Amino acid sequence: MRGGVWLAVILGVFIVLEVLEFDYYRVLTPFYDRPYWLYALYALSEFFFGIIPPELFMIWARGFGDPLLYAGIVSFLALLSYLAGVTGYWVGRWVGRTAFFMRLEKRRLVKVIPLVRRYGIHLVIIAALTPVPFSATSMVAGSVRLPWRRFLLFATTRFMRFAGYGWIVWHASIK
């Protein structure tokens, strides 16, 4: 529900800016010349719990105007997000072996950890498809040692989110 609200807010702002004929592409011009800075910012954001919504980067990519280039950029963003989740899984596996985490598990997470172990793959799917922080969820999945292959398989639903949201962002233009 919250994810749908955020998507509606971002798209609403995007449409209002187009109605007002705000030239936000001009504001973003320096990033079109050097997109590597934007990709680096996006990768850091995705690794550190998805601080910046990917839809903003999709809107930036839309400014190129070419549907094939747009699809390529959105696919690349999806791949970076997936890889951030995979990295998060391994960070979680490492953290899950620390003495701090084991004490925390015994004291505070006694009831939660069994639920995460039981429903963890479902949590991964929910985080992959919604704005729930995918990297953080992947870290939790790694810390409870969800099966690696199942994690990889179900984390691919992240690509479905980017395909759907990318399609919506592309077609949100009213011009």
Q: Where are the domains of the chain?
A: 2-13+35-171
User: To the nearest 10°, the Cα dihedral for 87, 93, 96, 98?
Assistant: -90
Judge residue 114's burial from the number of C-beta atoms within 10 Å of its C-beta, 0-12 exposed, 13-18 middle, 19 or more buried. Answer: exposed
Query: Which stretches of 20-66 are DSSP H helices?
Result: 24-27, 29-33, 35-47, 54-62
DSSP state of 172: T
Question: What is the model's pLDDT at position 174?
Answer: 47
Band (pLDDT 50/70/90 cuts) for residue 24 is low
- Kindly state the average pLDDT of the residues 116-134: 89
Question: What is the model's pLDDT at position 60?
Answer: 85
Q: State how far the Cα of 142 lies from the Cα of 153, in Å rounded to an integer.
A: 14
Cβ neighbours of residue 124 closer than 8 Å, sequence gap 6 or more: 137, 138, 141, 146, 151, 154, 155
pTM (2 decimals)? 0.78
User: To the nearest 10°, the Cα dihedral for 19, 76, 164, 133?
Assistant: -100
Q: Which residue carries 């990768």 as its tokens?
A: 43
Q: State how far the Cα of 48 lies from the Cα of 33, in Å rounded to an integer.
A: 26
User: To the nearest 10°, the Cα dihedral for 27, 30, 32, 38?
Assistant: -100
Question: What is the model's pLDDT at position 129?
Answer: 92
Backbone angles phi, psi at 144, to 5 degrees: -95, 5
Q: State how far the Cα of 70 lies from the Cα of 138, in Å rounded to an integer.
A: 27
Kindly report the average pLDDT of the chain as a whole number: 85
Judge residue 74's burial from the number of C-beta atoms within 10 Å of its C-beta, 0-12 exposed, 13-18 middle, 19 or more buried. Answer: buried
Least confident of 29-33, 36-40, 94-98, 140-144: 29-33
- Kindly state the average pLDDT of the residues 13-32: 69
Least confident of 16-30, 86-100, 145-159: 16-30
Percent of the chain with pLDDT over 90: 38
